[in-house]
Amino acid sequence: MKPAVLTGEHFLTGDSACAEGALAAGCRFFAGYPITPATEIAEHMSKRLPEVGGVFIQMEDEMAAMAAVLGASCAGAKGMTATSGPGFSLMMENLGLGIAMETPCVVVNVQRAGPSTGLPTLGAQGDMMQARWGSHGHYEIIALAPASPQEIFFQTITAFNLSETYRLPVLIMADEVVGHLSERVLIPDPSKIRLESRPRPKGRKDRFRPFHPGANGVAPMANAGEGYMVHFTGLTHDERGYPVMTAEAHTEMVSRITGKIRANLDKIIQVEEYRLEDADVALISYGISSRSSYSAVDEARARGIKAGLLRLITVWPFPEEKIRELAGRVKCLITVELNLGQIHLEVQRCAAGMAPALLVGHAGGTVITPARILEEICGASRQ
Amino acid sequence: MNSSHTQKHPLDGILRTDRIPHIWCPGCGIGTVFSSALIAIQSTGADLTKTAVVSGIGCSGRGAGYVKLDSYHTTHGRALPFATGMKLANPELTVVVFSGDGDLFAIGGNHFIHAARRNMDLTVICVNNLNYGMTGGQAAATTPHMAKTTTTPFGNPEPPFNLPLLAYASGATYIARWTMLHTRDLTQSIEEALARRGFSFIEVLAPCPTGYGRRNKLKPIDFLKIYQEKAIVKNGAHPAEVILDFNQGITIGKFIEYDRPTFSESYERICRPQAS
């Protein structure tokens, strides 16, 4: 029997590294449904969870998988599911329930090219806006974008920590290339892994209000079976969890579930800057596309063009401040992503005309080459 | 001061009294089924802090909102998978699913057959009012052939499901059907279901005078008369032979009870590494 944290050096696919990251984060429940290119995460969890005291279940569809993860989380477990585009669409319904019930969990989307069945075996980054707005109603979400198997390992831990801290589903927006890529993955000693768990209630059980926020805007969470007799609903509810069908109650609830994210942006958002200090041309990229972007920056620098890269580790909430700051000091912004302009729209919005915002992207099916990015950098630097 | 206002109802301890009055219409049968469920839960003597109620969406789905237990009012059709996750994450919990026919058998039909197939250790109480009440009385997967609803103005062209047969074919290990008039049998049935392991399914017929009744010329009392006059108790009846027809008869009783391993029992035996 292997331990939950496989400390040591491994050669893993992104999908397997994601599963190991989940186990290291304390994930003990996985409900899933097979779908290319995310199936390997479920397969890995089906083998590993029983030996660490967890439970794996293959559900009848992705709606059920997402519902089961929420149920498990409400009973106190750290739960996860993993899917790709078509399944991600089906999960939007209960993703909203997780938002409304403020239930921690992690949802992995190993993106393939859509719309619809699309290109099941080929990568894309076309679900980025769906990640932001795919479930109905107004809400905030946290989404991370891993660029390598090593990073997906750590991001899965981060995703669990964020979901527990802020009580919401956290998305890992991977892509087929990262999911299927095999690379070296270093798994640290468990003592070196920082784990967070949901805020817990204190005081009298009969006076507990399950949605009364604490100091950071997040309400402590009582799990089923602990004697708090909580009520959770997807209906608009007050701090007791009771349905209240008024505009005032709705404003209050939506303000709370969006406010707890907006108030903690500095603690949530992570970006990486590469050669940006004196850059004239700033690339903005994430996931697999950021890997091509590093090479393009180095190539451009070798040709005397001052290029740099802002790599988004957190895509949602969007690092608005950072983009504004960049737009104020560079000559051009270029978003590099495997779609026809999604995060590009956010960059344009934040740049607000301070610097031109260009796009290097296509509909998916193959990675963006450094050469294509370099071409755009050279073109932009001649303007 | 009227002393009746200060008297304690026997179910007050398990009701969210601060949420009463409830939303159910006059003449609706859900309240009676709900009472039976609460009486059964209380009478088991089990630790109520270890009992959770999960509902989907619809009139019956509001049940979770009135019970003073850990209670979860989820999305339309998804009560069963939510309850599945809850039970697997904490096997100490007794998980009751209280929902309606539309929720459990139309939008949630796929989840029902799979939860039954797995023999998930859940008690499922389905209030069958033959239509979608919450949205104003549309046709459901249980609406009788030729019955009128707001979406079958010419009569329902479709046949309804036989719920006990569907449950049986799917693998449910306890199957009973009662009407809300048969409260003692119903309560006893829920008690039995709570006390056993495995997927227990109890269908309960209940009037929807506002939706189904209004369009099919049935007043609340007419439903009750039909339940009284047309109900035929046939314990042990094969689910393929049970009928639900307001003219020909309504077979009620406990039809099925047998043991086979639950999902968790099989998982522990087959998937969990055994200590050598």
Strand-pairing partners, residue A282, are A308, A333
Quick one: tokens of A164? 């527990």
Q: Do A233 and B69 touch (CB under 8 A)?
A: no
Which chain B residues have a beta carbon less than 8 Å from that of A100? Answer: none
Which chain B residues have a beta carbon less than 8 Å from that of A28? Answer: 89
In a domain, B266, yes or no: no
Which chain B residues have a beta carbon less than 8 Å from that of A243? Answer: 65, 73
Tell me what pLDDT residue B4 has: 55
Mean pLDDT value across residues A46-53: 98
Q: Do A60 and B65 touch (CB under 8 A)?
A: no
Mean pLDDT value across residues A114-137: 98
Q: List, for residues A261-275, the tens digit of each pLDDT value.
A: 999 999 999 999 999
Which chain A residues have a beta carbon less than 8 Å from that of B49? Answer: 225-227, 229
Interface residue of B82, B107, B120, B270 to substitute, partner A, most A CBs within 10 Å: B82
ipTM surpasses cut 0.95: yes
pLDDT along chain B (276 residues), means of 10: 68 94 96 98 94 98 96 98 98 98 98 98 98 97 98 98 98 98 98 98 98 97 98 98 98 98 98 84
Interface residue of B66, B70, B117 to substitute, partner A, most A CBs within 10 Å: B70
Tell me what pLDDT residue A270 has: 98
In a domain, B180, yes or no: yes
Which chain A residues have a beta carbon less than 8 Å from that of B263? Answer: 57
Strand-pairing partners, residue B245, are B249
Q: State the DSSP string of chain B.
A: --GGGTSPPTTGGGB-GGG-S-SPPTT-SHHHHHHHHHHHHHHT---GGGEEEEE-SSTGGGGGGGBSSEEEE-STT-HHHHHHHHHHH-TT-EEEEEEEHHIIIIITHHHHHHHHHHT-S-EEEEEE-SSBTTTTSB--TTPPTT--BTTBTT---SPPP-HHHHHHHHT-SEEEEEETT-HHHHHHHHHHHHHSSS-EEEEEE---IIIIIHHTT--HHHHHHHHHHHEEE-TT--GGG--EETTTEEEEEEEEE-----HHHHHHHHTSPPP-
B38/B14 Cα distance (integer angstroms): 7
- Give B 51-110 residues with CB within 8 A of chain A: 52, 54, 64-65, 68-75, 77-78, 80-90, 92-93, 110
Q: Residue A101 pLDDT > 50, yes or no? A: yes
Which chain A residues have a beta carbon less than 8 Å from that of B75? Answer: 67, 93-94, 96-97, 234
Q: How close does chain B come to A204, measured CA to CA in Å? A: 15
Which chain A residues have a beta carbon less than 8 Å from that of B52? Answer: 75, 224-225
pLDDT mean across residues, chain A: 98
Q: Across the interface, which of A68, A74, A93 has its CB nearest the CB of B72?
A: A74
In a domain, B228, yes or no: yes
Interface residue of A102, A135, A231 to substitute, partner B, most B CBs within 10 Å: A231
Beta strand A79-83 with B244-245: parallel, antiparallel or unpaired? unpaired
In a domain, B8, yes or no: no
Q: State the DSSP string of A43-106.
A: HHHHHHGGGGT-EEEE-SSHHHHHHHHHHHHHTT--EEEEE-HHHHHHHHHHHHHHHHTT--EE
Integer angstrom CA distances of residue B102 from B58, B161, B174, B202, B242:
8, 11, 21, 15, 20
Nearest Cα to Cα of residue A33 among A101, A96, A108, A93: A108
Q: Across the interface, which of B16, B72, B273 has its CB nearest the CB of A50?
A: B273
Interface residue of B50, B51, B53, B88 to substitute, partner A, most A CBs within 10 Å: B88
Give the Cβ contact number of residue A353 at 10 Å: 8
User: Which amino acid is located at B29 in the chain?
Assistant: G
Beta strand B174-179 with B249-257: parallel, antiparallel or unpaired? antiparallel
Which chain B residues have a beta carbon less than 8 Å from that of A97? Answer: 74-75, 78
Q: List, for residues A143-161, the tens digit of each pLDDT value.
A: 999 999 999 999 999 999 9
Q: List, for residues B223-255, the tens digit of each pLDDT value.
A: 999 999 999 999 999 999 999 999 999 999 999
- Give B 208-267 residues with CB within 8 A of chain A: 263, 267
Task: Look up the CATH architecture of domain A272-382.
Answer: 3-Layer(aba) Sandwich (3.40)
Mean pLDDT value across residues A94-101: 98
Tell me what pLDDT residue B1 has: 46
B173/B196 Cα distance (integer angstroms): 10
**Phi/psi class of residue A225: alpha, beta or left (left: φ > 0; alpha: ψ in -120 to 50)?**
left
The answer as to CATH 3.40.50.12780 being correct for domain A8-192 is: no
Is residue B87 within 8 A of residue B106, CB to CB? The reply is no
Is the CB of residue B272 less than 8 Å away from at least one CB of chain A?
yes
Give the Cβ contact number of residue A30 at 10 Å: 31
Which chain B residues have a beta carbon less than 8 Å from that of A64? Answer: 78, 80-81, 84, 110-111, 114
Domain ranges, residue B116: 24-258
Do the first three CATH levels of A8-192 and A272-382 match, i.e. the same topology? yes
Mean pLDDT value across residues A334-363: 98
Q: Where are the domains of chain A?
A: 8-192, 272-382
Q: How close does chain B come to A203, measured CA to CA in Å? A: 17
Is the CB of residue B270 less than 8 Å away from at least one CB of chain A?
no
| Number of folded domains that form chain B | 1
Quick one: tokens of B267? 């998982």
Cα angle B160-B161-B165, degrees, rounded to a multiple of 5: 150
b or e along A255-269 (b: 16 or more beta carbons within 10 Å of the residue's beta carbon)? Answer: ebbbebbeebeeebb
Q: Do B85 and A72 touch (CB under 8 A)?
A: yes
Question: In chain B, what's the furthest Cα-to-Cα distance?
Answer: 69
Tell me what pLDDT residue B276 has: 59
Question: In chain A, what's the furthest Cα-to-Cα distance?
Answer: 69
